[in-house]
């Protein structure tokens, strides 16, 4: 950064334009010449641009009475920021603040984790006097929200199993939905991995909502099968007959629920992009629930 001394310039009969022209001319990045031969020509280049404040101080900007006038004679030259009107401080010390933002569609938690993993490598490439620290991390609240949603999902599964036992009073009938719900959710996770979906508030909310739909299918099938067992039929025959009778109902119920989610897939703008993963995750969970209810539950 060059700060001109107006009195010194005026005393020497110079102008600020003279100084500007001298500085610009000293930093022209152009070829210094060439070597021409019979079959090839080589351009000569040199990295002679000034890099430090001391080099600028020694720059000759004009001659007066045969004596050189250097930039340091008429100006104060120092290392500084490009924009002196902007600054940043951390812990009462001047610092450089870098704000990192994720690209649209990227997972903010994965992005923050990747940056934190790169910090040691970045620190090693900097001078020992430079310290790199994280001043603010937006993912702290997001991680807490995701953890709360995961806890609510597990609580929803536990409450569903408990309520089934309170009403059915039958341990085998309780175990079957208790196994069907995790299987349906695990299958949904597999599809999410295939579709490159991330674990976020929307997908976890979809799984939490799907817990109720998932257990409904299993309970309907179990109730119909239990009705035939109570009439005295063998379990295998009751399972085949009960599942066969209720199969069309499960299928119609499943596609009715999925049809409600279809409009979300065609929404545009930000709202459509936000709820796309939510709608697909919920639809997949409902579809897998129907498959589990008609195959494994009986």
Q: What is the pTM of this model?
A: 0.57
pLDDT of residue 47: 67
One domain for residues 146 and 267: yes
Q: Give the mean pLDDT of 185-209.
A: 83
One domain for residues 151 and 287: yes
Q: What average pLDDT does the chain have?
A: 82
User: Is the pLDDT higher at 184 or at 145?
Assistant: 184
Given the DSSP bridges, would you call strands 75-77 and 67-70 parallel, antiparallel or unpaired?
unpaired
One domain for residues 145 and 236: yes
Q: Which long-range contacts (C-beta less than 8 Å, at least 24 apart) are formed by 186-195?
A: 187/284, 187/288, 187/292, 188/281, 188/284, 188/285, 188/288, 191/284, 191/288, 192/281, 192/284, 195/280
pLDDT of residue 210: 81
Q: Give the mean pLDDT of 14-42.
A: 81
Quickly state the pLDDT bin for 85 (edges 50, 70, 90): confident
pLDDT of residue 31: 67
One domain for residues 69 and 200: no
One domain for residues 275 and 144: yes
User: Is the pLDDT higher at 267 or at 190?
Assistant: 190
Residue 231 CA to residue 242 CA, distance in Å, equals 12
Write down which residue in 56, 77, 98 finishes a domain: 77
Q: What percent of the chain has pLDDT over 90?
A: 0
Q: What percent of the chain has pLDDT over 70?
A: 96
Residue 298 CA to residue 247 CA, distance in Å, equals 11
Is the confidence at residue 106, as pLDDT, over 80? Answer: no
One domain for residues 90 and 16: no
* Most confident segment among 138-147, 201-210, 273-282, 283-292: 283-292
Q: CATH number, domain at 56?
A: 3.30.2090.10
Q: Give the mean pLDDT of 107-118.
A: 85
pLDDT of residue 46: 67
One domain for residues 188 and 205: yes
Domain tally, the chain: 3
HEC-encoded secondary structure of the chain: CEEECHHHHHHCCCCHHHHHHHHHHHCCCCCCEEEECCCCEEEECCCCCCCCHHHHHCCEEEEECCEEEEHHHHEEECCCCCCCCCCCEECCEECCCCCCCCCCCCCHHHHHHHHHHHHHHHHHCCCCCCCCCCCCCCHHHHHHHHHHHHHHHHHHHHHHHHHHHHHHCCHHHHHHHHHHHHHHHHHHHHHHHHCCCCCCHHHHHHHHHHHHHHHHHHHHHHHHHHHHHHCCCCHHHHHHHHHHHHHHHHHHHHHHHHHHHHHHHCCCHHHHHHHHHHHHHHHHHHHHHHHHHHHCCC
Q: Give the mean pLDDT of 20-44.
A: 79
Residue 284: alpha-carbon gap to chain centroid: 24
Neighbours of 181 (CB within 10 A): 24
pLDDT in tens, 125-183: 888 888 888 888 888 887 887 788 778 778 877 887 888 788 777 777 778 877 888 88
Is the confidence at residue 244, as pLDDT, over 80? Answer: yes
Q: CATH number, domain at 282?
A: 1.20.1640.10
pLDDT of residue 112: 86
Residue 269 CA to residue 42 CA, distance in Å, equals 55
Write down which residue in 95, 110, 137 finishes a domain: 137
One domain for residues 10 and 66: yes
Write down which residue in 29, 48, 77 finishes a domain: 77
Residue 74 CA to residue 10 CA, distance in Å, equals 9
One domain for residues 118 and 14: no
One domain for residues 72 and 160: no
12-21, 160-169, 184-193, 227-236: range with lowest mean pLDDT: 160-169
Is the confidence at residue 48, as pLDDT, over 70? Answer: no
Q: Which residues have C-beta within 8 Å of that of residue 107, sequence separation ≥ 6?
A: 198, 200
One domain for residues 147 and 289: yes
Asked whether 53 and 3 are in contact (CB, 8 A), the reply is no
One domain for residues 67 and 174: no
pLDDT of residue 296: 80
Q: Which domain holds residue 51?
A: 2-77
């Amino acid at each position: 950064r060059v700060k001109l001394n107006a009195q010194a310039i005026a005393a020497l009969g110079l102008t600020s334009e003279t100084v500007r022209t001298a500085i610009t001319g000293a930093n022209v990045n152009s070829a210094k010449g060439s070597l021409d031969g019979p079959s090839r020509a080589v351009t000569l280049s040199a990295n002679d641009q000034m890099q430090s404040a001391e080099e600028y101080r020694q720059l000759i900007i004009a001659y007066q009475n045969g004596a050189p006038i250097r930039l340091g004679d008429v100006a104060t030259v120092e290392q500084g920021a490009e924009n002196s009107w902007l600054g940043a401080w951390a812990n009462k010390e001047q610092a450089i603040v870098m704000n990192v933002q994720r690209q649209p569609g990227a997972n903010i938690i994965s992005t923050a984790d990747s940056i934190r993993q790169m910090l040691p490598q970045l620190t090693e490439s900097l001078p020992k006097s430079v310290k790199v620290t994280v001043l603010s991390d937006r993912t702290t609240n997001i991680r807490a929200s995701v953890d709360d949603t995961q806890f609510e999902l597990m609580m929803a599964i536990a409450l569903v199993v408990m309520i089934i036992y309170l009403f059915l009073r039958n341990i085998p009938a309780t175990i079957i939905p208790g196994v069907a719900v995790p299987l349906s959710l695990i299958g949904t996770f597999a599809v999410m991995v295939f579709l490159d979906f991330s674990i976020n508030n929307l997908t976890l909310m979809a799984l939490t909502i799907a817990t109720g739909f998932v257990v409904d299918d299993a309970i309907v099938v179990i109730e119909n099968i239990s009705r035939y067992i109570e009439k005295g039929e063998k379990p295998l025959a009751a399972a085949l007959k009960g599942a066969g009778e209720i199969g069309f109902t499960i299928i119609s119920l499943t596609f009715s629920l999925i049809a409600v989610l279809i409009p979300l897939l065609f929404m545009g703008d930000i709202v459509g992009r936000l709820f796309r993963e939510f709608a697909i995750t919920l639809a997949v969970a409902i579809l897998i629930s129907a498959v589990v209810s008609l195959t494994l539950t009986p």
